[in-house]
Structure 1
Amino acid sequence: MFNLQNILRKNIKELVPYSSARDEFKGEASVFLDANENAYGSPLSESYNRYPDPLQFKVKKRLSEIKGVPPQNIFLGNGSDEAIDILFRAFCNPGSDNVITVPPTYGMYEVSANINDVEVRKIKLTADYQLNMEAISEAVDEHTKIIFICSPNNPTGNSINRDDIETILANFNGLVVIDEAYINYSRQKTFIQELTEYSNLVVLQTLSKAWGLAGLRVGMAFASEEIIEVFNKVKPPYNINEASQELALEALQNVEQVNSWIKETVAEREKLKAELSILPSVLTIYPSDANFILVKTINPKEIYQFMVNKGIIVRDRSKVELCEGCLRITIGTPKENKLLIEAFKNFEELNKI
């Protein structure tokens, strides 16, 4: 049976978190002389001379309405990367514990592990980019604290089989982190609704993709109240600045606009796949539930450099294991996608393909 206290680091159990001025006062007031702020104001905005809400209540309240989970089950981080880093710092003892990743996948899991001196056990996806369940089971030992699963996966774009994820959730006594950065573009259901079913589940999402707020750096983690309390205990006191909170809250009022962008992106994804599939230089286009596609080409490095020279930047993933020969292409606007196709055709003409 999963027990959070069994995997929480001893020093984190005993940690007394920093108590900020805004943590100690709750309620309404007109004169704030508690936090050594500049009482005269700010050159930018009347509100920016004050420290932000350390727990981002207004933003979480709005997210709660959209996502259908209580605010106490939500953590906001400086991008999803902050949530990933906190998971290592709170649950993994440096030099002794390990985590499991399933490459090819998002690279920050491994980077954060290396920063925190935590062993990474890499269990490659199968040829069709699904979990190797037997190998994962064999890799788990008493020091395995976290299994990271990105679904839809980056850089492959496909969703991971839901039954396999649920099997891991039901049988693993550590944390299972489902990174759903691209879930808005998928027909698959989010795992957020399973939080009451699995106490070891952590779901990561972001406002960087479908919500178009990559520049604000606002990531989300959804988990049990007990796990969220650990996040809040470890995080810096004011990890989300006031400007990001204000702009995120404003953006979260525009659900219809975002849904419209999602529909258009998915339609453009299918159109782009169809147009690329008839090109001689394109060998394979892998299934995608994200706002990008993984495309296997006959000469990815040459195509990549040709695109750069045309002012079009895609991602060369040809050196990534199981992605040999592949470029990762984000779905652009109709105009941008048209320019991409034209560039592919120009490359083929020049190289007589």
Structure 2
Amino acid sequence: MSNFNIQSILRENIKNLTPYSSARHEYTGSASVFLDANENPYGSALKQNYNRYPDPFQEKLKTALSKIKGVPPYNTFIGNGSDEAIDILIRAFCRPGVDNIMVFPPTYGMYEVSANINDVEIKKVNLTPQYQLDLDSIADTIDQNTKIIFLCSPNNPTGNSIFREDIEIVLNNFNGIVVVDEAYINYSRQKSFIQELTEYGNLVVLQTLSKAWGLAGLRIGIAFASQEIIDIFNRIKPPYNVNQASQQLALDALTNIDQINQWIRETIDERSLLVKNLLKFDFIEHVYPSDANFILVRTNNPLKIYQHLNQMGIIVRDRSKVSLCEGCLRITIGTPEENNRLLEVLKEFK
């Protein structure tokens, strides 16, 4: 929305917030003697020294990401996982006990958890049976206190991408923040919405280094948005929200893009092969199309299949109690060896 005014929905206490100013925040430049942050000057108990506080704004990592994503560093926020970005958005724009967010089940559960933690109402509009947006119901459900819409595409746990035209309709007609969560975008045929940041002032795109980049243990989440929204993130976040080890290891990983692209291609190939082989079992009723590194599989006995796999040391996700996922298991695409082991164990299921 070209005329979107972020200040119109920002909470008053956030407008007036004086952020914590850390030692490394106040000083920029080069120095050889650091006597400003009460650090241990002798080093750390590790081979790698971590006695100094990390860059609070992760400038080197943002610059490296900018070269890959084509998004300027000032349009980039890096958090302790995407969950931090989700939480900050709700705290920035939703007044507890007054405002609400909108989600579209079945979808990623942390939107609802973060809203509940912050005492913010959740309005739910189920996806259609084809796992797409119900635009009419969305329009009927939005009210004046709806401040954030969370869209997951490719969606978790269904695996499909939401129609791009439908997301654009929401962006063009909603006078609030629209979050497009693209945690699985590397496995999708769809284009990322980061290309639309200059078009929509109310757009926030979430991505992560946890999936395709294989860095789930480092907790590196990314939000791309207008500079005005990124400034709000930086005012609210803790001063050193991403540790030095995670920043450096993520920087190292970003130099291995050829390896990552190869793993993505292998995962997509394995996804197709696994779907083909799963459909040979008579207890597998349907495998939903996926643009992610997992598949949603409808079975005739999800609990017993889940328990059978569990007993054989294979863990999948039972989603059978989730709305519109009745009878379903969510299966992450593993290595060829892991996928073959899954199929072998399923052959033993009676």
Give the TM-score, by structure 2 length: 0.99
Q: Which residue of 2 aligns with 1:345?
A: 347
CA distance in 2, matches of 1:40, 1:194: 48
CA deviations on 1:99-151 (whole Å, 9 max, x unpaired) are 10000000000000000000000000000000000011111111110000000
Matched letter for residue 17 of structure 2? L
CA distance in 1, matches of 2:319, 2:298: 10
Q: Which residue of 2 aligns with 1:180?
A: 182
Equivalences for residues 309-328 of structure 1 within 5 A: 309-328=311-330
Q: Which residue of 1 aligns with 2:81?
A: 79
CA distance in 1, matches of 2:338, 2:251: 29
CA distance in 1, matches of 2:47, 2:21: 26
Q: Which residue of 1 aligns with 2:283?
A: 281
Q: Determine whether 1:241 maps to 2:236.
A: no
Q: Determine whether 1:163 maps to 2:177.
A: no
RMSD: 0.6
Match of 1:333 among 332, 335, 339: 335
Q: Determine whether 1:196 maps to 2:201.
A: no
Secondary structure of the residue aligned to 1:203 is: strand
What is the deviation of 1:301?
A: 0.1
Q: Which residue of 2 aligns with 1:34?
A: 36
More divergent stretch after superposition (36-45 vs 157-166): 36-45
Matched letter for residue 159 of structure 2? G
Equivalences for residues 10-159 of structure 1 within 5 A: 10-45=12-47, 47-159=49-161
Secondary structure of the residue aligned to 1:76 is: strand
Q: Which residue of 2 aligns with 1:209?
A: 211
Distance 1:18 1:160, change over 3 A: same
CA distance in 1, matches of 2:245, 2:182: 25
CA distance in 2, matches of 1:155, 1:321: 11
CA distance in 2, matches of 1:198, 1:225: 12
What is the deviation of 1:47?
A: 3.5
CA deviations on 1:60-79 (whole Å, 9 max, x unpaired) are 00000000010000000000
Matched letter for residue 217 of structure 2? G
What is the deviation of 1:53?
A: 0.1
Matched letter for residue 31 of structure 2? A
Identity %: 69
Secondary structure of the residue aligned to 1:167 is: helix
CA deviations on 1:195-220 (whole Å, 9 max, x unpaired) are 00000000000000000000000100
Q: Which residue of 1 aligns with 2:274?
A: 272
How many residues end up aligned between the 2 structures? 348
CA deviations on 1:298-335 (whole Å, 9 max, x unpaired) are 10000000000000000000000100000000000000
What is the deviation of 1:45?
A: 4.2
CA distance in 2, matches of 1:119, 1:162: 27
Q: Which residue of 1 aligns with 2:254?
A: 252
CA distance in 2, matches of 1:270, 1:78: 33
CA deviations on 1:230-258 (whole Å, 9 max, x unpaired) are 00000000000000001000001110000
Matched letter for residue 246 of structure 1? Q
Matched letter for residue 21 of structure 1? A
CA distance in 2, matches of 1:218, 1:81: 10
What is the deviation of 1:7?
A: 0.6
Secondary structure of the residue aligned to 1:221 is: strand
Matched letter for residue 318 of structure 2? D
What is the deviation of 1:278?
A: 1.4
CA deviations on 1:277-315 (whole Å, 9 max, x unpaired) are 111110000000000000000100000000000000000
Match of 1:225 among 217, 224, 227: 227
Matched letter for residue 9 of structure 2? I
Q: Which residue of 1 aligns with 2:308?
A: 306
Secondary structure of the residue aligned to 1:145 is: strand
CA distance in 1, matches of 2:230, 2:92: 11
